[in-house]
Amino acid sequence: MATAEQIKALLKSHADRDDQRFYSIALQVAAKEARQGHHKLAGDIKSMVERSQKGLKNTGLAVAKPTPLVQQPKGDLKGLLELTHSTVRSSELVLSSEISERLEQVLLEQRQKDRLTQYGLFPRRKLLFTGSPGTGKTMSAAVLATELKLPLYTIVLDSLITRFMGETAAKLRLIFDHIKQTRAVYLFDEFDAIGTQRGAQNDVGEIRRVLNSFLLFVEQDASESIIVAATNHPELLDKALYRRFDDIIQFEKPGKDQIRKLIENRLAVFDTDSLAWADITVAADGLSSAEITRACEDAAKEAVLHHDTKITTSLIAKAFKRRQSGK
């Protein structure tokens, strides 16, 4: 049988997604079993390793490279990047079929990037997400990180932008150095803070220099990281930014089908079969996904505390009405 050290090494290599080390240790276990006369077990282990390796090669899937153990940034990067280990799955997203397909295309290209490069093609990895607040932009970035088994770094713009000439651009260079060194998903949220049009009336010199630096760094970046810029105000962005991105995805407020799915997801522990869905979707029309989810939570709390856990159309409609009025 495998020794305790071999078992620990197998678990560590699996956690690090270091396939080559995992297979190497498995073959060491097989060799040990063979020496002890357990030839059938040794043969089975060896065959499983060979089939697994052959399967990866034939599918053209990218063999995951070991990702360095990631920690919260230190030193000069402390306060500029926030590390999150995302657990949000694509099944938790409620988006239109068009947006879902485009995100799935990004995932597919990333998973088969080695196959694409064989033909001189490269996967999408510089993405611009636009749309109203609460429509799923930030959550979609988290899903990309989860599905690709990558850490998620959020750039803290408040710490990035300073009033001292040249300091912000220097911090931006540190971030892009990290993007090159550590493969991950990097989210520039509320990106319009640095992407403002260079000729805008409220433009200041430092912001203009930051934008120019960002344009240069993005254009020069040839890393394997995924860069996601998200904005609620695409009309404020400098037009030169758009051609730096591989894909621009516009997020929209949910339609009737998405509204119902959001409600069913959030109120899954309640009986929703008797709800008047036509009335509910009308009441929720115009709200963002985040607002609908929070309104459902409000209705659920009222049902639990005051109505014997019975969720009704009137409770949900009342919660939506409060959200519509901003109260």
Q: Does domain 75-250 have CATH number 3.30.200.20?
A: no
- For residue 17, what pLDDT is reported? 66
- The pLDDT averaged over each successive group of 10 residues in the chain (327 residues) is 68 69 75 73 79 62 48 78 87 90 96 93 95 92 94 86 70 91 92 61 59 84 94 81 91 94 91 91 94 94 87 94 83
Q: How many CB atoms lie within 10 A of CB 290?
A: 17
What are the DSSP calls for 151-200, one per residue?
Answer: -EEEE-HHHH--SSTTHHHHHHHHHHHHHHHS--EEEETTTHHHHB-TT-
Rounded Cα gap, residues 129 and 234, in angstroms: 9
Query: Which spans in the chain are helix H?
Result: 4-15, 19-35, 39-59, 97-111, 113-117, 137-147, 157-160, 167-181, 192-195, 205-220, 239-242, 256-266, 277-284, 289-306, 313-325
Rounded Cα gap, residues 115 and 106, in angstroms: 14
CA 280 to each of CA 217, 265, 327: distance values in angstroms, whole numbers, following the listed order? 47, 15, 19
Element (DSSP H or E) covering residue 230: strand 226-231
Domain residue limits, the chain: 4-59, 75-250, 256-325
- For residue 201, what pLDDT is reported? 52
DSSP 3-state assignment of 267?
coil
Residue type, 51: R
Rounded Cα gap, residues 24 and 191, in angstroms: 44
- Closest to 42 in 3D by CA, of 55, 33, 53, 52: 33
Specify which residues 78 forms β-bridges with: 81
Residue 127 in contact with residue 226, Cβ under 8 Å?
yes
- For residue 325, what pLDDT is reported? 85
85-117 as b/e, with b when 16 or more CB fall inside 10 Å?
A: ebebeeeebbbeeebeebbeebbebbbbbeebe
Here the tokens at position 278 are 């036509």
DSSP 3-state assignment of 25?
helix
Q: How many CB atoms lie within 10 A of CB 35?
A: 10
Entry pTM: 0.72
**Class of the domain covering 256-325:** mainly alpha
